[in-house]
Structures are given as C-alpha cells and as structure tokens.
Chain A
Amino acid sequence: MESGLLLRDAPLTAAREVARGMWVLSFEAPEVAATARAGQFVNLGLEGFLLRRPFSVYRAEGERIEVVLKAVGAGTQRLVSMRPGDVVSCLGPLGHGFDFGGRGSWKTAVLLSGGLGVAPMPLAARDARAAGLQVTWVHGARTADELCSESDGDDVIMATDDGTSGFAGTAVAAAPDADVILACGPNRMLAAVADRWPEAQAAVETYMGCGTGVCLGCAVPLARGGYDRACTEGPVYRAGDIDWTTLPSHLSYPVSA
C-alpha cells in the first residue's frame, strides 16, 4: 500500500506546446508535487470517462505537477482542450520510479527518450543531478518538429530518423555509454535498449485500469515468464527483465526508435 498516495482535485493552470501536437499541461497539486519522484506517474480522472488515464510526472515544482501528452484518443483530446481552472481528479504519485544511487560508484547517467518518452525525463534529470550524476540527455523523434523543445542535461544530444535535426538515426544509436541508463519510449526502442544495455532502467507504458495494483489490467510480460503489474512493480523495470516481443503498445501512432 502506498502510504504517500493522494486523491485530489487538480485545476489546470497552464498548457504549452513543446513539439508538434505534444502538450505539457500544468496542474495545481502541491502535495503530489512535493512527493513525486522521477519515473512515478499520476492517474488522471476526467468527467465523462470511466477509467483514469496514467501519465508520468514530467515536472514537479512548487505547487504544480506537469504531464506531457498527445491527443491520440477521446480522453487525451479532452485533456488538451481543457482551459485554465478546469479540474481533473489526480490520483498519485503511483508506481516505483528510477533508482539513482544505490551504488556509490555511479558517476554518469544517460537519459534516453523517444518521442513522448520525454515524459519522465525532466524529473529524472533533476533527481540524477541531485544524486551527483553527470547527465547526458539523448532525445529522438521521427523528424525535427516532433522533437521536444525542452531539454535538461549537462549534455544534450538530439536525433531524428530522417536527419532533419541532430544525429541522423535512432536515439539508441546516438547514445554514449554511461554508468546508468534510463530509458522511456516506444517498445521497439526499449527492446533495442535492452539489447544494448540489459541493466538499463526502462519506464514502460501499458494499458492500465486502476493504477493501484488491484485490477491486474496493466500486465507486463516478463522474460522469465508470467506477468506483473506496471502500476505497482513498475513502471520502471530492468530492461532485460521484460519480454518486449509480447508487451503491446497502445500508442496508435509511430514514434521514433
């Protein structure tokens, strides 16, 4: 049971477009903002939709948390059309986030994001630096105008599949090695991460029901067989522990690997 779990109404305070069709929404949720750690998520409830929608916490500062999303379905369309003052029901923070410092020998971190996989990275950059790590952020997208315009790292590398900006190729190909690799993006990209760095920490995206460990809807297939829950044991996993070939993606649009 999450002792720090909160259920609060959270008003929208601001929204900004950070790539073509990619929006960052800010909500007033001071208690959630105070406790959210990188890689954790919130489950947002909207009037008129039965199930909540899970989103990584993108930033948490002062009174506000931020999430990043694209309008891919009716729920996310509603979210991007919200106006300041409109309220969501915020359940969180949920799940287990990234690990930054179990081992004192870590000196360098690579944050690896594909498309909307930027979602946990600003908080990851914050927490990695707080743990004394040198941070390199490698961000990839299909094309230049789909690259997130916000980045945060001691070193930033951009990559595009079509070569319209930065490194021509995938973010995985563009990334240097480091003591700790944190990755988020489409499953195809995370599978490539797992091949290159089985020890990498990968934040997965799954279909999700309750977000609190009860419904077993967010089953993540494990390489050793069986399933566990993205919302509770995850959403951050050792990349080599996931059976990437059978983890479905609900991203209905292509994102750079």
Chain B
Amino acid sequence: MTLDMSVRLGGLSLRGPVLAASGTFGYGTEVPLLERRALGGMVSKGIFLKPRQGTPPPRIAETPSGMLNAIGLQGPGADALVRDYAPQWAKWDFPVLVNINGESAAEYGELTARLDGVPGVAGFEINISCPNVEQGGMYFGNDPRAAAAVTEAVRKRTRLPVWVKLTPMVSDIGVIARAVEAAGADALSAVNTFVGMSIDLNAYRPRLSFRTGGLSGPAIRPLAVHLAHQAARAVDIPVVGVGGIMTAEDALEFLVAGCSAVQVGTATFVNPNAIAEVHDGIAAFMAAKGFASLADLPRYLPRD
C-alpha cells in the first residue's frame, strides 16, 4: 500500500505533515544532519522589518522536561532576509513561511509588503505570541481586537497564505482563534511558548537576563495539545499543532486532537534529525493501522 503523507492546508500543499517551527530552525541553512526529504515545510526564525540585537545573555535555562528561552527575536531584518536567505529558499523543494513581527499593526503590514512576491517566500506566519519582546508580540495575541487588526493589516498586503501563531497565555484561545479567522487568516499555529521564570539560588535573581522566558519542550505538551484542540474546535480553518513534540506519538496526539499538521521545535535542538524521525514514525503508525492517507486518521473533534 502506498502511503499518502501529503496535506493541503492554509493555502499550501505540503508533502508531509511535519514542519520546522519558527526559532528552532534558523533560516533553514543552519540545521545539520537532518534528512530534509521528511520536511513538510519550514517556518523561518521570526523577523522584524529592521535588524534586532536580541536580549543579553543568559538567554536560555533548562527546566524539568523543558527549556526557557528569551532570545528577543535577534535577527538581521527584512532586507538581509531577502538578500541572503530567500534566494536559497526559492531553490528548495519545500515551502518556507516567514514568521513576521512588528511593534504595531502598520509595521506588520509594511513588513508583509516588503516580503510579498519575493521568490522563496511561500507564505507568512504572523507572530502575535512572542513573550520575549517589550513591544507587541504576545500583547497583540491576547487581545482579540488587536489580533484581528494585525491579521487584517497583513491580509491586505498579500495573497499568499497567512497563518497566525497563537499564544497560550489567554483565558479562552477560541476567542482569539475566531477573531483572526474572521480577519482573514488561512490557518492557525497553536501554540507558542508559555511564559515562565526560573530563579538562580546562587545569585538570588532570575536565571534569564530578560527575567522571564518562553517555556517549550515536553513540559508543555499536554497543555499545548489541549489548546490546539480548543482552537480547532472554535474555527473552520486548519490548525497546525505545536508544543513539545519529541516523537511521532506526540505529533499523532495533536493530529488526532484535531490538527491538520504539526511543527517540531525544541526537539531539533536535542536531536538534529528529530523532524525526520517524527515524520517516519507517523508513516509507520499509519501503515501499521492500515490508513492510506492522513485524511483517514480518526480525529477527536466535537464542535463547539
């Protein structure tokens, strides 16, 4: 039996359901040892219009089954992305979405206009969920009107697929999900990191210079599965599950919980070939269960 691992979602055709999550795959040129045949797509490191230095170190701290990070969206800015990375992406056999950031809805729109039509840019993932910037970021993501305004600003500037990456730091993710769906999003990525804090008992102060950081890794997986499921129940557009996926079984939990695809992030830091292992494990599961395509996988998705 031939196995169909492809998915169509959010305006894109992907050869497989496993994407590289933003911030864990650089601009796609950095990760060694990955068998790229398994990569359904990639979301770039978050980019702003202008270059950003990021936060002072320490930027990361290990926590039980997880890690905190506060990188602060260090990046070279849109012009360098267009010059140095997009030309390489244009030659690759998987789509690259650019994770876009701004301090105002207008800035998101301006960045979208700068990148729209650049060969190699297949779509956008709007980051309204970064916990590690002073302006914007997560603060757009926990206000449905602000989230919709940013989505609209981007939507107006492009006909490419627009995904919105949601923050878990909300009381009802369904409210935000519906707001950005109404504003024109093609898909949702759920979820970004949780805000966390860890204290250095030698220094009597936070272990991260930014004080707080985004918690990722297996520690957040059940929380993320729940939130992705809640988002999927709330909207008609596809949801891409992300949060602590280390293995194929973890990814399958998100898929059964109602997601159309998944993103693997922190796992890549630990095992550079994690994405391929997740992809191959999903294929093995489907073969063992007798499913011919991902559409055959049973979903647990009672509607709201």
Which residues in A have some Cβ–Cβ distance to B below 8 Å? Answer: 1-2, 5, 7, 45, 49-52, 91, 206-210, 212-221, 225-227, 232, 246-248, 250, 252
What 0/1 pattern do residues 41 to 53 of B give for CB contact below 8 A with A?
0000000000001
- Tell me the smallest distance from the CB of A254 to a CB of chain B, in Å: 11
Which residues in B have some Cβ–Cβ distance to A below 8 Å? Answer: 23-26, 29-33, 53-62, 65-67, 69, 71, 74, 202, 209, 217-218, 266, 268-273
Cβ contact of B69, chosen from A217, A227, A248, cutoff 8 A? A217
State A180–B160 Cα separation when bound (angstroms): 55
Please determine whether A207 and B61 come into contact, CB atoms closer than 8 angstroms.
yes
- Tell me the smallest distance from the CB of A187 to a CB of chain B, in Å: 11
Evaluate whether A246 and B71 lie within 8 angstroms (CB atoms) in the complex, with A7-B272, A7-B273, A214-B30 already known: no
Please determine whether A51 and B269 come into contact, CB atoms closer than 8 angstroms.
yes
Which residues on the B side are within 8 Å of A51 (C-beta)? 60, 62, 67, 269-270
Closest to B55 in A: A219
Evaluate whether A227 and B74 lie within 8 angstroms (CB atoms) in the complex, with A50-B66, A207-B60 already known: yes
Please determine whether B59 and A207 come into contact, CB atoms closer than 8 angstroms.
yes
Secondary structure class of chain A's binding surface, majority of residues: loop
Please determine whether B57 and A221 come into contact, CB atoms closer than 8 angstroms.
yes
State A247–B57 Cα separation when bound (angstroms): 7
Which residues on the A side are within 8 Å of B31 (C-beta)? 212, 214
Please determine whether A213 and B30 come into contact, CB atoms closer than 8 angstroms.
yes
Please determine whether B24 and A206 come into contact, CB atoms closer than 8 angstroms.
no
Of the A-B pairs whose beta carbons lie under 8 Å apart in the complex, a sample of 22, sorted by A's number, is A1-B29, A1-B32, A2-B32, A7-B33, A7-B271, A49-B62, A50-B217, A50-B218, A206-B57, A207-B57, A207-B59, A209-B67, A210-B272, A213-B26, A214-B24, A215-B23, A215-B269, A216-B71, A219-B71, A221-B56, A248-B57, A250-B58
State A254–B62 Cα separation when bound (angstroms): 22
State A17–B268 Cα separation when bound (angstroms): 34
Cβ contact of A252, chosen from B60, B202, B270, cutoff 8 A? B202
Which residues on the A side are within 8 Å of B69 (C-beta)? 209, 215, 217
Please determine whether A50 and B30 come into contact, CB atoms closer than 8 angstroms.
no
Please determine whether A215 and B24 come into contact, CB atoms closer than 8 angstroms.
yes
Closest to B269 in A: A210
State A7–B268 Cα separation when bound (angstroms): 13
Which residues on the B side are within 8 Å of A226 (C-beta)? 53
Residue with the highest number of chain B CB atoms closer than 10 Å, among A2, A206, A215, A219: A215
Please determine whether B270 and A215 come into contact, CB atoms closer than 8 angstroms.
no
Which residues on the B side are within 8 Å of A220 (C-beta)? 57
Which residues on the B side are within 8 Å of A248 (C-beta)? 57-58, 209
Cβ contact of A50, chosen from B33, B55, B57, B65, cutoff 8 A? B65
Cβ contact of B269, chosen from A49, A214, A225, A232, cutoff 8 A? A214
- Tell me the smallest distance from the CB of B29 to a CB of chain A, in Å: 7
Closest to B26 in A: A214
Closest to A91 in B: B272
State A119–B77 Cα separation when bound (angstroms): 37
Which residues on the B side are within 8 Å of A207 (C-beta)? 57-61
Evaluate whether A214 and B268 lie within 8 angstroms (CB atoms) in the complex, with A49-B62, A209-B69 already known: yes
Please determine whether B270 and A52 come into contact, CB atoms closer than 8 angstroms.
yes
Closest to B200 in A: A252
Closest to A216 in B: B71
Which residues on the B side are within 8 Å of A209 (C-beta)? 60, 67, 69, 269
5 smallest beta-carbon distances between A and B, as pairs: A217-B60, A210-B269, A213-B30, A219-B57, A214-B26
Which residues on the B side are within 8 Å of A215 (C-beta)? 23-24, 60, 69, 71, 269
